[in-house]
């Protein structure tokens, strides 16, 4: 009887010990998950060491020097994009392919939030009639997370302008005119080459398929930039804001 009781007590101790280990593991995993989420989300916004390179709209020469400095750190830097009143306010890079900056920041360090980048199919000087850019959809609005907000008509109507700052100091005004929900295989959106000489064909497509659209008097000679991000609830789902890039 004493042997059975001793065995039972020993078994209880083993179970208690295993329960403690399980709790420690679960707490550690939970803590790591929270830390990892915090790092990912906070990394999606500009840090102080990058903010100092943000171009100024009031001083073209200062804007030129700021981007030149950033280009000296990373020659892949192409511009700085800002949409007024949103979290979209970042340097834009262009990699050797469209995967290079998916998990790499503008300082060339690993980052789950990646970078805002121009498609490799586009010219680096932003001279194409249609320019395709990508950014992660961060739930806190970082990177291109705010692209999803444009699906709401009220938000769309209140956020219609922005700027594309170039390394020569020029600030090209951006005009939001559409947002479309599509999939990653929509050739009208994701085939850059097809858009050469067919800008108005794209405008007509957007007029018929966009979630929100406004007529700003687009012409065949105008340039369009697409800001594309993933829709988290759908594997191949995409949301894309379309802007006119003024001279």
The pLDDT tens digits of the residues spanning 5-56 come to 565 566 566 766 665 665 544 444 433 333 333 333 444 557 778 999 999 9
Give the Cα separation of 34 and 23 in Å (integer): 16
Q: What is the pLDDT of residue 33?
A: 33
Contact, 163 vs 64, CB < 8 A?
no
Contact, 113 vs 138, CB < 8 A?
yes
> Taking the model in full, what pTM does it have?
0.82
**pLDDT band for position 214 (cuts 50, 70, 90):** very high
Tell me, what DSSP letter sits at residue 47?
Answer: P
Does the pLDDT of residue 154 top 60, yes or no? yes
Cα-Cα-Cα-Cα dihedral sign, residues 69, 83, 175, 234:
positive
Token pair of 179, please? 């947002």
Q: What is the pLDDT of residue 36?
A: 37
* Nearest CA among 86, 89, 91 for reference residue 117: 91
* Contacts of residue 193, Cβ cutoff 8 Å, sequence gap at least 6: 121
CA angle 221, 225, 227 (to 5 degrees): 165
The pLDDT tens digits of the residues spanning 169-206 come to 999 999 999 999 999 999 999 999 888 789 999 999 99
The pLDDT tens digits of the residues spanning 92-130 come to 999 999 999 999 999 999 999 999 999 999 999 999 999
In CATH, which superfamily holds the domain spanning 48-245?
Answer: Sortase (2.40.260.10)
């Amino acid at each position: 009887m004493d042997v059975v009781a001793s065995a039972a007590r020993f078994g209880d101790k083993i179970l208690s010990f295993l329960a403690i280990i399980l709790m420690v593991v679960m707490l550690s995993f939970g803590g790591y998950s929270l830390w990892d989420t915090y790092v990912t989300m906070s990394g999606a916004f500009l840090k102080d060491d990058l903010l100092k390179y943000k171009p100024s709209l009031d001083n073209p020469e200062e804007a030129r020097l700021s981007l030149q400095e950033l280009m000296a750190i990373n020659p892949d830097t192409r511009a700085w994009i800002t949409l007024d009143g949103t979290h979209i306010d970042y340097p834009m890079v262009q990699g050797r392919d469209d995967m290079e900056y998916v998990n790499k920041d503008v300082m060339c360090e690993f980052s789950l939030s990646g970078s805002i980048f121009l498609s490799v199919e586009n010219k680096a000087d932003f001279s194409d009639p249609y320019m395709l850019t990508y950014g992660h959809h961060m739930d806190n609005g970082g990177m291109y997370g705010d692209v999803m907000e444009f699906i709401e008509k009220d938000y769309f109507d209140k956020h219609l302008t922005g700027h594309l700052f170039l390394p020569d100091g020029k600030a090209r005004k951006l005009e939001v005119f559409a947002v479309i929900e599509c999939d990653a295989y929509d050739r009208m959106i994701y085939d850059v080459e097809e858009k050469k000489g067919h800008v108005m064909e794209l405008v007509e497509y957007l007029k018929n398929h966009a979630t929100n659209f406004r007529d700003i008097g687009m012409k065949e000679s105008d340039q369009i930039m697409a800001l594309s991000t993933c829709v988290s609830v759908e594997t191949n789902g995409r949301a894309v804001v379309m802007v006119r890039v003024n001279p």
